[in-house]
Amino acid sequence: MSEALLEVRDLSVVFDGFRALDGVDLTVERGELRFLIGPNGAGKTTLIDVITGLTRPAGGSVRFEGRDLAGRKEHEIVRMGVGRTFQTSVVFEELTVLENLDLAASFRRPLWSLARRRRGVSDAVAAAMETTQLHALADRPAGVLSHGQRQWLEIGMLIAQGPRLLLLDEPVAGMSGEERQHTGELLTEIAKEHTVIVIEHDMEFLRRYASQVTVLHEGKVLVEGSVDEVRADPRVQEVYLGRTDDTFDPAVAGKTTASAGGGRMAGGPDAGTAIGEGVVAGPGAAGTGTMSGTAAGPVAGSAAAGEVK
Amino acid sequence: MTATVRNLVPPAPPAPALRGPSLRDRLKGPAVFTFVAVLALVAAPLLLEPFRLNLLAKYLCYAIVALGIGLAWGQGGMLTLGQGVFFGLGGYAMGMYLKLNDAGGDLPDFMVWSGVEKLPALWAPFANPVFAVVFAVAGPVLLALLLGALVFRQRVRGAYFAILTQALAAATVILLVGQQGLTGGTNGLTNFFELFGQDLAADETQRGLYLVVAAVLGVLYLLARQLVRSRFGRLLVAIRDGEDRVRFLGYNPATVKTVTFAVSAGMAGLAGALFVPVVGIISPALLGVVPSLELVVAVAVGGRFSLAGAVLGAVLMGYARTSFSEEFADGWLYLQGALFILVISLAPKGLFGLLAAARNLIAARTQSRSRTMDGDMAGGADGPLVEAPEARA
């Protein structure tokens, strides 16, 4: 049996006594396009932070290509072939689009060789520009790009590095409908040749582009499976209570936790906050949320972690 | 598949990245540099009287330090308030050689006055001029490497780094003043007579020294410019603007910053070594907190984001200081402070930034007049002002 590309075992992360991740197991095979969903505070970003070395776990292990990532620095993990983007895209505004891509692509060069000036455009950069279609903007400073273009540039920078695993943290957040569609197509394109994990809130986006989905909730893996399986799962519907979306029938959700009805949100357009607050409201109204008061930890939205039995 | 993705941006004109800058743009930099070089190496020695030429040599020494500050602070975002330490290390290395050379085998004069009877072991190697000059550069470089490795790996940055370097400058002064017999204390090292067999007081020697300083500055400027324009330079700017993000590109920012800091320290050390024969003294007052700060102010006034701005700032502020002090002895400090506040609040890119902005404005005017119908071709929402390239180097 060949080992999986990424193996997360019994991972837990604690922030000031608050368990952001609690015994998470996750296996991602080579070539997979995996969606990671869950309400605010479910631990999605924390999971990616641990994989990429930004956050130290309290327990458990992360293995990438069979090698333990524990104790490795961020840049070392990138050098092993794990690339990520952030929720708020960070491109280097003073540098041009081309320079941003070139810098990303040059990370394996020895430091002294960087003292030479760039001549022309390397194959990796050209390919990344081809995939993201940023040609026309190559010589513009990245600071003038629109939000969507920045995200694409970031994804382009990732591709230019030739990573074996890409972690994208909410790539379509804040994008217009058209931009979402383009990003989805870009994602499909990238997934042909790369293993990708995508954190996403947007159900519509999920339905259109996801195949394998892992649902995180309160730092634990709730369900794992195909989009249809996950959508049909009553536990997922319960977690996403408060969302009046045809994906999740509110009637079904209402039945599973009847007592939470009073705290239900009206299903606002912002899925992110609506979901998070919906969960808090649920246990509060049900009188079981003894944890929710103490759990207001350092992580935004962590109040959603009030224990729901 | 990419057919739909292609709609992201308007149809691409021939990739501008592959075209490169126009011939005129490529020749402009070298032309300006050559002009300034001729001015400095030919015109100045011919036209300036020895006293003024000597002052200019002093400003150019400061300009070398400023170049390093421009690199570390302007490009790399490391606000170093302790360049005087490196400057002093180079200066003292040279001063020690000069002292030993003048003493001709005896003890340097100030040691005799302090009651020192035997040459301290620390001094012995500096009798060798090669060792002194090499140490003037290598000493600061090694110190900066050590400091950088300790500090940047711990992710100390911003104001904390600035305070740390300033504390280092303050501590160095205390150390130097305290070791009267070893360092000449508050007076420092002075009364030099001879350099490599040449009389330091002679106009000829001073003119030669001036030419050496100017040439060193020119060479270092070209090297620094090359560095800024290389991938390393782009990486440095990236680290300045988003250190954490750079980590996720697979680079270790600590290494890049340490190397840059060491380069700037080496420049300051060399400047110190040149400064001593030119000015004839090195003392704690020349390398403490205040002189270190003054150089940072000069770089800010000139324009920290461009190397030429840093050099310009150091020369201008040096000149302004001399001429202003000749008229109103005590007014300089106030003027300097006022200038700093003005620049920081009104023109954060300094004089050079103002120059570049004026040039871009004129360029944008003439451009919009020549092609009003073309509009903004690259698809961004911004006007033609952004299209004008940022003034670099």
Query: Does the structure show a pLDDT above 60 at A266?
Result: no
Question: How many beta-carbon contacts under 8 Å exist across A and B?
Answer: 143
Residue B88: is its pLDDT beyond 90? yes
- Work out the pLDDT band at B133, boundaries 50, 70, 90: very high
Rounded mean pLDDT, A243-249:
46
Summarize the confidence of residues A235-258 as an average pLDDT: 52
Can you give the C-alpha Rg of chain B in angstroms?
24
- With cut-offs at 50, 70 and 90, classify the pLDDT of residue A276: very low
Overall average pLDDT of the B191-213 stretch? 87
User: At residue B314, does pLDDT exceed 80?
Assistant: yes
pLDDT of B269 > 60? The answer is: yes
Residue B387 falls inside a structural domain: no
| CA atoms of B174 and B193, how far apart (whole Å) | 28
Contact A102 B230 (CB under 8 A): no
Which of A137, A152, A158, A182 is the best substitution to test chain B (most B C-beta atoms within 10 A)? A137
Whether residues A205 and A279 share a domain: the answer is no
Its domain, for residue A281, covers 233-305
Given a cut of 80, is residue A256 above it in pLDDT?
no
A205 and A247 together in one domain: no
Task: Determine whether the interchain pair A161/B6 forms a contact, defined as Cβ–Cβ distance below 8 Å.
Answer: no
**A220 with A244, same domain?**
no
Give every CB contact of residue B237 below 8 A, 6+ residues apart in sequence.
Answer: A92, A94, A95, B75, B76
Residue B170 located in a structural domain: yes
Kindly state whether residue A51 falls inside one of the protein's structural domains.
Answer: yes
Residues A57 and A103 in one domain: yes
Q: Is the pLDDT of residue A284 over 60?
A: no
In Å, how far from its chain's centre is CA A76?
20
The pLDDT, as a whole number, for residue A133 is 85
pLDDT at site B372 = 54
Residue of A nearest to B255 (CA): A111
Residues A221 and A270 placed together within one structural domain of the fold: no
Q: Containing H/E element for A11?
A: strand A6-15
Q: Which domain-ending residue is among A206, A227, A248?
A: A227
The band of A241, judged by pLDDT with boundaries at 50, 70 and 90, is low
Q: Of A19-33, A163-177, B268-282, which has the strongest mean pLDDT?
A: B268-282
pLDDT of residue B370: 65
Q: Predicted ipTM?
A: 0.75
Amino acid B363: pLDDT: 84
Report if residue B38 sits inside a domain: yes
The string of pLDDT tens digits covering residues B98-122 is 999 888 878 888 888 888 888 888 8
**Those residues with Cβ within 8 angstroms of residue B379's Cβ, 6 or more apart along the chain or in another chain:** A136, A137, B9, B10
Q: How much is the pLDDT for B20?
A: 56
User: Which residue of A52, A108, A130 is in closest CB contact with B248?
Assistant: A52
pLDDT, position A264 = 36
Percent of chain B's residues with pLDDT above 90: 42
Q: Is B328 a residue whose pLDDT tops 80?
A: no
For residue A125, tell me if it sits in a domain: yes
Return the minimum-mean-pLDDT range out of A19-33, B13-27, B63-77, B358-372.
Answer: B13-27
pLDDT single digits (tens) A60-88: 999 999 889 888 988 999 999 999 988 87
Would you say residue A1 lies in a domain? no
The closest CB to that of A136, out of B2, B256, B378, belongs to B378
Question: What's residue A2's pLDDT?
Answer: 58
Question: Rounded to an integer, what distance in angstroms lies between the CA atom of residue A60 and that of residue B294?
Answer: 53
- Taking only the tens place, the pLDDT of each residue in A87-100 is 877 889 889 999 99
Residue B55 lies in a domain: yes
- Identify the band that residue B344 occupies on the pLDDT scale cut at 50, 70 and 90: confident
Mean pLDDT, residues B220-225: 94
CB neighbours of residue B165 within 10 Å: 27
For residue B2, list chain A residues with Cβ-Cβ distance below 8 A: 130-131, 133, 185, 189
Chain B interface test: which of A106, A113, A130 (most B C-beta within 10 Å): A106
DSSP A123-188: HHHHHHHHHHT-GGGTTSBGGGS-HHHHHHHHHHHHHHT--SEEEEESTTTT--HHHHHHHHHHHH
User: Is B249–A52 a contact, with Cβ atoms under 8 angstroms apart?
Assistant: no
String of b and e for A220-232 (b: at least 16 CB within 10 Å)?
A: bbbbbeebeebbe
**In the predicted structure, residue B266 carries a pLDDT above the cut 60:** yes
Reported as a pLDDT band with limits 50, 70 and 90, residue B167 is: very high
pLDDT for position A131: 85
The per-residue pLDDT for A112 is: 82
CATH of the domain at A193: 3.40.50.300
Q: Which of residues B373 and B335 earns the better pLDDT score?
A: B335
Residue where the block lists tokens 């040059």: A106
Residue A70 sits in the same domain as residue A187: yes
- The answer on A36 and A105 residing in a single domain is yes
Instruction: Please check whether residue B9 lies inside any domain of the structure.
Output: no
Question: Best mutation site among A48, A90, A94 for testing chain B: the one with the most B CBs within 10 Å?
Answer: A94
- Residue A43 predicted with pLDDT over 70: yes
Better-scored residue on pLDDT, A299 or A175? A175
User: B20-52, pLDDT tens digit by residue?
Assistant: 566 777 778 888 888 888 888 888 888 888 889
Q: Give the pLDDT of residue B186.
A: 86
Q: Does residue A133 share a domain with residue A181?
A: yes
The band of B332, judged by pLDDT with boundaries at 50, 70 and 90, is confident
Over residues A105-132, the pLDDT tens digits come to: 888 888 888 888 888 888 888 888 888 8
Asked if A81 contacts A87 with a C-beta cutoff of 8 angstroms, the reply is no
CB contact (8 A) between residue B237 and residue A90? no
Give the count of domains, chain B: 1
Q: Which residue has the higher pLDDT, A182 or A309?
A: A182
Select from A172, A194, A227 the last residue of a domain: A227
How confident is the model at residue B195, as a pLDDT?
85
Answer yes or no: do A85 and A149 share one domain: yes
One domain for residues A242 and A211: no
Q: How many domains does chain A have?
A: 2
For range A199-223, the mean pLDDT: 86
Q: Which residues of chain B make contact with A92, given a CB cutoff of 8 A?
A: 237-238, 241-242, 245
Confidence bin at B371 (pLDDT 50/70/90): low
Tell me the shortest Cα–Cα distance from B170 to chain A, in angstroms.
33
pLDDT tens column, A136-157: 888 889 999 988 888 899 999 9
- Domain stops at, among A193, A227, A261: A227
Classify residue B42: in a domain, yes or no: yes
pLDDT at position B273: 95
Domain assignment of residue B223, given as a range? 30-192+204-286
Residue of A nearest to B381 (CA): A144
Reading the block at residue A241, the tokens are 């209570």
Same domain, A69 and A110: yes
Residues A203 and A159 placed together within one structural domain of the fold: yes
Three-state DSSP at A223 gives: strand
